[in-house]
């Protein structure tokens, strides 16, 4: 019954994307990216020797890619003759990273289904599969298990609300059986898996994102002079991955504290969205239009993807968006690695690093604009508090690094990277 409902879900999902593509550019890209996908895959694969070792990493979207990236880069650095196939389900991952230099090829993952999974795996013939965090596609994973291809799940987090732990979870437990090893972020995930008999196949390694943000902080490209001139000696608040609800909480403080500079990077950057943000904030300018003589502007709105992680080093305080949406906050570690206090909305409980940083005193959750303004005043007017709070964040990132090394050690121990 569960599998029948899953197949119905797959049909409705694809139908829904087709309908959405009439108005949504993202849905249109989702469809267009999968046109003739198997022909393209075969063309790529036939150019390689049949005995070529192919390592396939799958990421749902851009956030999961950043999680898997440290492991992918480490594998490629130490095994340059292996071919890396990187797949995405979402356009927000594929369109940004389709030319990623450390992967030999980047594709959309065809929609799950028995025929698609069998055809995809038959063409690619991977020797090792790395699945990042989640997105449990039944047919792909069970077909890999049937073919005895090792599949490693990395940086996973499990919660009791997931179907694995429900009375109807038999199909989902079958999916878990497809993984040769499950590397999780915390001990709570192991405890949950133990209740359904999977703890013996599970190891706590932490989150590979800590390794990623540390590497990013060490190997940054210089920021544009025009931004450095904009910031100058002012206090700076950087609001990253914001949604409309976040900006509505920030706008009063921005408009009443003209001596503080704001850099806002909306989560969506289509023209309409950028125009809405610019209309909301007085004295604002779009980054692509910023000139050295625009120093009178108070707010810069970032209208590109890829710059945000580096921008946080300019911040005195970082605000992370998403905390007023049901999906929750975006990546806080990109700011934490630079030792910046972090603020976000009330929806953050399912993000381990957020709850841990709140408990440690490096991050703060606010419920409304009034709480936000009191907190910003406290931080920006007390240099000692600002420095100490930021130090908590930086230390937290440093102490939680190392997941990539632990996973690599396992791959070498099991000879999963040898020819």
Domains of the chain and any CATH numbers: 21-206+402-413 (3.40.50.11720), 221-399 (3.40.50.2000)
- For tokens 């990546």, the residue is 331
Mean pLDDT to the nearest integer, 113-141: 97
Percent pLDDT > 90 in the chain is 87
SS3 of 291, please? coil
Mean pLDDT to the nearest integer, 85-89: 98
Confidence tier at 294 by pLDDT (50, 70, 90): low
pLDDT of the residue at 200? 87
Q: Which residues, 6+ apart, have CB-to-CB distance to 38 below 8 Å?
A: 110, 119, 120, 123
Task: Summarize pLDDT for 56-73 with one digit per residue, the tens.
Answer: 999 999 989 999 999 999
- For tokens 């490209």, the residue is 221
Task: Summarize pLDDT for 159-190 with one digit per residue, the tens.
Answer: 999 999 999 999 999 999 999 999 999 999 99
Is the pLDDT score of 419 beyond 90?
Answer: no
SS3 of 220, please? coil
Mean pLDDT lowest among 38-52, 94-108, 217-231: 217-231
Task: Summarize pLDDT for 386-415 with one digit per residue, the tens.
Answer: 999 999 999 999 999 999 999 999 999 999
pTM for the model stands at 0.90
Tell me the C-alpha distance between 88 and 100, whole Å.
12
Is the pLDDT score of 148 beyond 70?
Answer: yes
Q: Which residues, 6+ apart, have CB-to-CB distance to 370 below 8 Å?
A: none
Mean pLDDT to the nearest integer, 196-224: 92
Task: Summarize pLDDT for 362-378 with one digit per residue, the tens.
Answer: 999 999 999 999 999 99
Is the pLDDT score of 295 beyond 90?
Answer: no
CB 65 within 8 A of CB 58: no
Mean pLDDT lowest among 217-231, 236-250, 258-272, 378-392: 217-231
CB 348 within 8 A of CB 331: no
- For tokens 């100490």, the residue is 388
Confidence tier at 321 by pLDDT (50, 70, 90): very high
Is the pLDDT score of 155 beyond 70?
Answer: yes
Percent pLDDT > 70 in the chain is 99
pLDDT of the residue at 219? 87
Tell me the C-alpha distance between 417 and 335, whole Å.
33
């Amino acid at each position: 019954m569960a599998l029948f409902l899953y197949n119905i879900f797959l049909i409705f999902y694809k139908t829904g994307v087709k309908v959405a593509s009439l108005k949504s550019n993202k849905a249109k890209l989702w469809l267009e990216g999968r046109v003739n996908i198997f022909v393209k895959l075969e063309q790529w694969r036939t150019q390689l020797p049949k005995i070529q070792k192919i390592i396939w990493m799958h990421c749902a979207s851009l956030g999961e890619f950043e999680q898997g990236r440290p492991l992918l880069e480490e594998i490629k650095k130490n095994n340059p003759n292996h071919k890396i196939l990187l797949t995405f389900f979402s356009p927000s991952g594929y369109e940004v990273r389709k030319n990623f230099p450390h992967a030999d090829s980047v594709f959309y993952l065809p929609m799950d289904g028995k025929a698609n999974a069998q055809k995809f795996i038959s063409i690619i013939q991977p020797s090792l599969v790395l699945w990042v965090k989640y997105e449990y596609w039944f047919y792909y994973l069970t077909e890999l298990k049937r073919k005895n291809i090792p599949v490693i799940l990395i940086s996973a987090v499990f919660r009791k609300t997931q179907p694995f732990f429900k009375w109807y979870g038999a199909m989902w437990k079958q999916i878990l059986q497809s993984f040769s090893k499950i590397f999780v972020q915390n001990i709570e995930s192991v405890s949950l898996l133990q209740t359904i008999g999977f703890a013996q196949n599970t190891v706590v390694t932490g989150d590979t994102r800590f390794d990623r943000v540390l590497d990013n902080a060490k190997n940054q490209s210089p920021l544009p002079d025009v931004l450095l001139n904009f910031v100058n000696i002012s206090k700076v608040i950087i609001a990253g991955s914001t949604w409309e609800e976040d900006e509505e909480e920030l706008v009063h403080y921005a408009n009443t504290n003209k001596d503080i500079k704001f850099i806002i990077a909306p989560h969506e950057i289509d023209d309409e969205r950028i125009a809405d943000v610019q209309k909301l904030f007085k004295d604002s300018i779009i980054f692509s239009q910023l000139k050295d003589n625009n120093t009178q502007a108070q707010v810069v709105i970032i209208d590109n993807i890829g710059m945000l992680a580096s921008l946080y080093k300019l911040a005195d305080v970082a605000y992370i968006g998403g905390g007023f949406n049901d999906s929750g906050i975006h990546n806080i570690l990109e700011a934490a690695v630079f030792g910046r206090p972090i603020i976000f909305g009330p929806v953050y409980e399912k993000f381990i690093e957020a709850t841990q940083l709140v408990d440690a005193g490096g991050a703060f959750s606010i419920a409304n604009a009034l709480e936000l303004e009191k907190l910003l005043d406290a931080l920006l007017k007390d240099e000692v508090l600002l420095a100490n709070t930021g130090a908590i964040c930086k230390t937290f990132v440093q102490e939680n690094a190392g997941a990539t090394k632990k996973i690599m050690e396992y791959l070498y121990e099991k000879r999963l990277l040898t020819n």
